[in-house]
Amino acid sequence: MSGSGTGRAPDDLFLKIIAGEVPATIVHADDLVVAFEDVDPQAPVHVLVVPRERHETVAALAAAAPATLARLVEVAQRIADERCGGHFRLVFNTGEDVGQSVFHVHGHVLGGRGFTWPPG
């Protein structure tokens, strides 16, 4: 499995959402990132922020397109400011063993309730 790449993976759910082929509740879209409601929310606020270009992991995105990663974090903060007073957890899963099921990097913006530490 490669760490980065902008080619379309035929089973990439997020590219299908970005293209409008799969319905989603879009809460933000710009030239670099798209944010949409998670279909299986784990908190009162649970929004996914994804880059338009496909990179499998957050490390791959940081190496290939640091400005896009910065934009992803900016959008996550804006969503948290609007929906949960700026208090949020931003989670990136990397690898199947820790729960990554779509291999297109995505940040989970989680908020609206208290969280414990350590997670998981």
In CATH, what number is assigned to the domain containing residue 81? Answer: 3.30.428.10
- Please check whether residue 35 lies inside any domain of the structure: yes
Residue 36's DSSP bridge partners are: 26, 48
- Please check whether residue 6 lies inside any domain of the structure: no
Which position among 46, 55, 104, 106 bears the catalytic label?
106
- Please check whether residue 39 lies inside any domain of the structure: yes
Q: pLDDT for 81-94, tens place per residue?
A: 999 999 999 999 99
pTM (predicted TM-score): 0.91
Where are the strands (E) in the chain, listed by range?
Answer: 26-29, 33-37, 45-51, 88-91, 107-111
Q: pLDDT for 26-63, tens place per residue?
A: 999 999 999 999 999 999 999 999 999 999 999 999 99
**Helices and strands (H and E) in the chain: how many:** 3, 5
Helix (H, G, I), strand (E, B) or coil at 108: strand
- Determine the structural domain holding residue 19 and report its residue range: 13-111
Query: What total of structural domains would you count in the chain?
Result: 1
106 a catalytic residue: yes
